[in-house]
Amino acid sequence: MLRECLGKELLFFDGAMGTLLQDQGLNAGEYPENWNITRPEDVIEIHRKYFEAGSNIVLSNTFGANRLKYADGIYELKEIISKGVAYVKEGARLGAARGQKAYAALDIGPTGQLLKPLGSLSFEEAYDIFKEVVIYGEAAGADLIHIETMSDTYEVKAAVLAAKENSSLPVFATMMFDEKGKLLTGGDVASAMALLEGLRVDALGINCGLGPVQMISILEEIKACTALPVIINPNAGLPKQNEKGTYYDVDPDEFAQAMKQIAGKGAAVIGGCCGTTPAHIEKMIAACRDIIPEKGIEPGRTLVSAYGAAVEIGDQPVIIGERINPTGKSRLKQALKEKKLDYILREAITQQDSGAHILDVNVGLPDIDESEMMQEVIRSVQGITSLPLQIDTADTVTLEKAMRIYNGKPMVNSVNGKQESMDTVFPLIKKYGGVVVALTLDEQGIPETAAGRMAITEKIIKEAARYGIDKKNLVIDVLAMTISSEPDSAKVTLQALRSVREELGVRTVLGVSNISFGLPSRPVINANFFTMAMQNGLSAGIINPSSEEMMKSYYGFCALMNYDSNCEEYIRIYGQQPAADQLVPKAVEKSLYAAIEKGLREEAAQITAELLKEEKPLDIIDTHLIPSLDAVGQGFEKGTVFLPQLLMSAEAAKSAFEILKGEMAKAEQSQEMKDRIILATVKGDIHDIGKNIVKVLLENYGFEVIDLGKDVEPEIILQAVETHRAELVGLSALMTTTVVSMEDTIRLLRKEAPGCKVMVGGAVLNQEYADMIDADFYGKDAMQSVHYAQDFFNGNNK
């Protein structure tokens, strides 16, 4: 019923609930949902008034009702929700006197906690919390599920999945944006809408945070992203503060006039949020009653997103960084096998800094659990960059798990024209949303002609449509094969690119560097082909963004085609570069010792590379690196060198080590078994800077650090001790409340891994406290931890 009239006639929400409850005596800090038990008649009365004002959809008084808030057991969550829904129905019975359509919406607000990796709530926990609410709400007879006031894309994804997987009701979702059109967690309008559309909500939009006037431009942005019905539920103006707290001052008439404008601009469902009253809603309905919402027009934009700004694969080509893929990369293979995520994270950031817009993530190696690793890498990479990711795997299980935990609307690599491939990949795109790379090959292989590749493209578009996947969510890879074995290959690829782009109107992608396989000086061919491909309609190039030649092609192309207005980007990047003949070779006389002492990263790396021509890696470590680090460490302990300098030296040493490790990995010279130390910030604690400082220094001194991250359960630490057969654990905690978890962890380790020693550190700790919780060692600063570890592994304090 609701689904049928949605978008065809203007529907009206109710206004604020909390504001009215406060007027009737709800205390600051008291949960409004408690009134479902304590003052039901007041709740019903408010619903009745809204129906009487003409609302079609009224929200149950369950905004904050979830198991996190109702953990104390005073009220039962199920009762709060069931009654909440029942009261809307009762309100409709009493108040829908105008005979309007009346729907009871199960209202779901945010959990009130931040999700991992920055907060402490896991995606799966958030899902379970919402699932419980959805089940109670549907059982109580709700007509739809309304998810609102969301400021985190990850949380809204958990909520929408919970709603869709555990009920058959229509699902609406609205986000809260600020005046700059951003979510509290940093996302923009396009990224949030791309995500919600991908998850196939029935209607989407914005509520709270802003008044109606400020929402107009956001409505326009939403309409530029999607054809779905749009919901606009503003506050009665921008929030203002006085000593009693927040208040709103747009009156019903002013509100109604602004809402009329909003309805005229194509909103399909409108109502009010904080500060609005039945009077606001009544005036709004009177002003808008005769407006028929304009039909949504599909803007056809290819959007991918993470939690930050969306990336559009449009007329201006974008760059997909190819570096997180183990094929042919020994260091990355090693990092994956050893679960050294830091290496992968640095690859991610390097590509971002080099200009990548999207990052490909492929972790397929024969002897690792691809699905687990993919999830871990995605979570970690999403902790440090907001670039959208391209999930690159041939394994369907890995793909589904990765798409599920991904924060945003991902790019997926890939589907192809084989029926089996389409049968497995398209259902996942349908469920989770995404832009999928479609390879123009099928059961018969790769067609030799452009026409053959066109035909497969058409087949794929048609099959996708059967799943309701619009062609805007397909990016066609017409495939580049090396010209060294197929002389016409580049010509065929370019022709196919142009046809697919111009005749079928779909976006395109290529793994560009395949073209030169087997030839010398590959960058020459690659960069030229890249330019030619862009000129022939390439929308996205999968390339190495650290390759200077490729980026020159890219920035040159964008400047020439006027995608780079006033050549600003081009000038920013190339304007400062000195001419080649003025380049002075850097770091000629400086020693590695001095470079580390002074904390000069680039120099340290450069000099190390030079030294490698004459010395062995291990000799460089012993004769240059360690003495310099020792000198700095001693300075730190004497109070002549300070923490920032100590760490600059540590980072310089690290850059030297990176060069040496690369060399050793190349020579497959496996290093001697290193002494292993497990590090973790304890459960409940999200401040990990202290632990990270200790880690950098321990690694400098040659220890192998297994970093378990922050907010780590005691059981996970024990498990790591057992798997890695570690004899030393370092724990950090910032606050008295989390020292308790530290104590729990030590107790568990004493019991289950009695041979293992524990060193501790953190702001609230001191020797006395450390003794009290039974730690073996208290490190006042990072250098002390290093000394303890050295003594320990030398057998001095075992």
Partner 1 sequence: MDFRIRETIRYLGYGKHAVDEQTCRLIAESFEDLELVVRERFIYRIFAIEHCGEYQIRIGTIEMKSKYLIKNMMGCSKAVLFGATLGIEVDRLLQKLAVTDMAKAVIMQACAAARMEELCDRMEAEIKAELPKPEQTMRPRFSPGYGDLSIEYQKEILRVLDASKKIGLTMTRGCMLSPTKSVTAFIGIKDQKDI
631 binds partner 1 (CB under 8 A): no
CA distance linking residue 139 with residue 160, whole number of Å: 18
388 binds partner 1 (CB under 8 A): no
101 binds partner 1 (CB under 8 A): no
738 binds partner 1 (CB under 8 A): yes
Give 481 or 686: the residue with its C-beta nearer to partner 1.
686
Give 72 or 768: the residue with its C-beta nearer to partner 1.
72
| Minimum distance of partner 1 from residue 592's CB (angstroms) | 18
Which bin fits 89, alpha (ψ -120 to 50), beta or left (φ > 0)? alpha
Phi, psi torsion values for 163, nearest 5 degrees: -65, -45
CA distance linking residue 337 with residue 212, whole number of Å: 53
Give 686 or 748: the residue with its C-beta nearer to partner 1.
686
**Token pair of 626, please?**
């360690």
Hey, what's the torsion of the CAs at 305, 310, 315, 317, to 10 degrees?
Answer: -70
Give 120 or 424: the residue with its C-beta nearer to partner 1.
120
- Looking only at the bridges linking them, the beta strands covering 777-778 and 269-270 are unpaired
732 binds partner 1 (CB under 8 A): no
Q: Find the binding residues for partner 1 in span 438-497 (CB under 8 A).
A: none
Quick one: how far is CA 564 from the chain centroid? Answer: 27
Contact 165, 199 (CB under 8 A): no
Contact 189, 217 (CB under 8 A): no
Give 403 or 648: the residue with its C-beta nearer to partner 1.
648
Helix (H) or strand (E) holding 449: none
Long-range contacts, 340-348 (Cβ 8 Å, 24+):
341/376, 341/377, 341/380, 342/707, 344/377, 344/380, 344/381, 345/380, 345/381, 345/384, 347/323, 348/321, 348/324, 348/381, 348/384, 348/385, 348/387
Interface region with partner 1, contact rule CB under 8 A, candidates 49-57, 191-199, 369-377, 679-687: 679-687
- DSSP class per residue in 184-207: TTS-BHHHHHHHHHHTT-SEEEEE
Beta-carbon contacts of residue 557 (< 8 Å; ≥ 6 apart): 317, 531, 534, 535, 563
Give 22 or 535: the residue with its C-beta nearer to partner 1.
22
Q: Find the binding residues for partner 1 in span 518-577 (CB under 8 A).
A: none
| Minimum distance of partner 1 from residue 260's CB (angstroms) | 28
Contact with partner 1 (CB under 8 A) among 186, 355, 364, 556:
186
| Minimum distance of partner 1 from residue 599's CB (angstroms) | 6
Contact with partner 1 (CB under 8 A) among 301, 331, 676, 687:
687
Contact with partner 1 (CB under 8 A) among 1, 4, 27, 521:
27
| Minimum distance of partner 1 from residue 121's CB (angstroms) | 8
651 binds partner 1 (CB under 8 A): yes
Beta-carbon contacts of residue 633 (< 8 Å; ≥ 6 apart): 646, 697, 783, 786
296 binds partner 1 (CB under 8 A): no
| Minimum distance of partner 1 from residue 43's CB (angstroms) | 19
| Minimum distance of partner 1 from residue 636's CB (angstroms) | 10
784 binds partner 1 (CB under 8 A): no
Give 477 or 711: the residue with its C-beta nearer to partner 1.
711
Give 23 or 622: the residue with its C-beta nearer to partner 1.
23
Quick one: how far is CA 116 from the chain centroid? Answer: 10
Contact 714, 748 (CB under 8 A): yes
110 binds partner 1 (CB under 8 A): yes
**Any idea what the Cα angle at residue 183 is, between residues 177 and 188, rounded to 5°?**
95
653 binds partner 1 (CB under 8 A): no
| Minimum distance of partner 1 from residue 470's CB (angstroms) | 32
780 binds partner 1 (CB under 8 A): no
Contact with partner 1 (CB under 8 A) among 345, 373, 620, 664:
345
3-class SS of residue 765? coil
**Token pair of 570, please?**
């081009």
Binding mask 30-59 for partner 1 (x = CB under 8 A): x-----------------------------
CA distance linking residue 359 with residue 322, whole number of Å: 7
Contact 67, 112 (CB under 8 A): no
**Token pair of 706, please?**
């297994």
Contact with partner 1 (CB under 8 A) among 44, 102, 114, 133:
114
Binding mask 216-255 for partner 1 (x = CB under 8 A): -----------------------x-x-xxxx---------
Q: Could you tell me the strand order of the sheet in which 704-707 lies?
A: 704-707, 676-681, 728-732, 757-761, 777-778
| Minimum distance of partner 1 from residue 582's CB (angstroms) | 24
Give 152 or 463: the residue with its C-beta nearer to partner 1.
152
643 binds partner 1 (CB under 8 A): yes
174 binds partner 1 (CB under 8 A): no
Contact 361, 382 (CB under 8 A): no
Contact with partner 1 (CB under 8 A) among 9, 42, 45, 120:
120
Contact with partner 1 (CB under 8 A) among 8, 346, 572, 724:
346
Give the interface size with partner 1 as a residue count (CB under 8 A): 64
634 binds partner 1 (CB under 8 A): no
**Token pair of 660, please?**
């040496």
Interface region with partner 1, contact rule CB under 8 A, candidates 414-422, 565-573, 619-627, 681-689: 681-689
CA distance linking residue 391 with residue 370, whole number of Å: 12
Q: List the one residue out of 224, 281, 203 whose CA is nearest residue 5.
A: 203
> Residue 524: beta bridge partners?
none
Binding stretches for partner 1 (CB under 8 A):
27-30, 109-110, 112-114, 117-120, 149, 151, 178, 182, 184-186, 208, 239, 241, 243-246, 342, 345-346, 349, 383-386, 598-599, 601, 639, 642-645, 647-648, 650-651, 683-689, 692-693, 696, 711, 734-738, 741
